[in-house]
A = this chain, B = another copy of it.
Amino acid sequence: MASSRKMVEFFYDIVSPYSWMAFEVLCRYKNVWNIDLKFKPAYLGGVMHGSGNRPPGMVPNKFHYMTKDLERVSGYFGVPLYPPSDVFEAMFEKGTLNAMRFVTAVAEKEKEGDVLVERVSRELWKRIWSTDQDVTQPASLTEAGLKAGLSASELEEILTLSKSQPIKDKLKSVTQEALDYQCFGFPFTVCHVNGKAELFFGSDRFELMAHCIGEKWVGPHPDKPTSKM
């Protein structure tokens, strides 16, 4: 029954490696769990500013932990994550404002379904968090878009759109939606269960999330659960 499906909103920014982990897991589960998964590309910088939070990596011990932890988690989750050579430059100096406007434009153009948003986001994550490539220049965004299956002409249109005021405003409003849920970082997943919003921060709450939405968690690879259990 369509009406029994639960709506799950996934707020993310491709600057966030833990968001990539969670994104891939949700992509694997979206046809396993009885959910409508809605991608919400947003701007992490805006969430940090709006909530008064600061990036965890700014505490040296935490940065050290996260570096090791990401290596371990990417292996366990089966996501080919390799940090960029200069993490601070990639995350904080270059940043992802243009990239997230680009994803927002893809989402706006797609209207129905999230197939292209999913593919484009993945290609952007691969660039920043796997192959140490730029995600700030139009040529970089075009390359990611082509790999995601968009045509050159579609990409030209999307690039122009991504610089428009309505798209800038849209990215701001989705970021504000996250803040309205009292978000303080990404990934941030909102599960709508019996009229209540259940909020999950991070990529390590899937077991609890499954419990909350009445589904089963069988590890990060639902297609081959026996390897885990």
Interface, chain A (partner B; CB < 8 A): 51-53, 59-62, 64-65, 68-69, 72-73, 76, 179, 182-184, 198-199, 201-202, 204-205, 207-208, 211-212, 216, 218-219, 228-229
Contact = CB atoms under 8 A, between A and B. Distances in A.
Each complex incorporates copies of this chain amounting to 2
Contacts of A211: 76, 228
A51 B65 CA distance: 12
B51 A208 contact: no
Nearest to A77: B208
Contacts of A59: 51-53, 184
A228 B183 CA distance: 29
15 contacts: A51-B60, A51-B61, A51-B62, A59-B184, A60-B182, A64-B182, A65-B182, A65-B184, A65-B199, A68-B199, A69-B201, A72-B208, A72-B212, A76-B211, A207-B219
Contacts of A53: 59, 61-62
B204 A205 contact: yes
A212 B73 CA distance: 10
A208 B204 contact: yes
A196 to B, nearest CB: 10
Contacts of A72: 198, 208, 212
Given A69-B199, A73-B208, A216-B229, 19 more contacts: A52-B61, A53-B59, A53-B61, A53-B62, A59-B184, A61-B179, A61-B182, A61-B183, A62-B184, A64-B182, A65-B184, A65-B201, A69-B201, A72-B198, A72-B208, A76-B211, A204-B205, A204-B208, A207-B219
Contact of A207 (B61, B184, B198, B207): B207
A126 to B, nearest CB: 23
B205 A61 contact: no
A22 to B, nearest CB: 13
A44 to B, nearest CB: 14
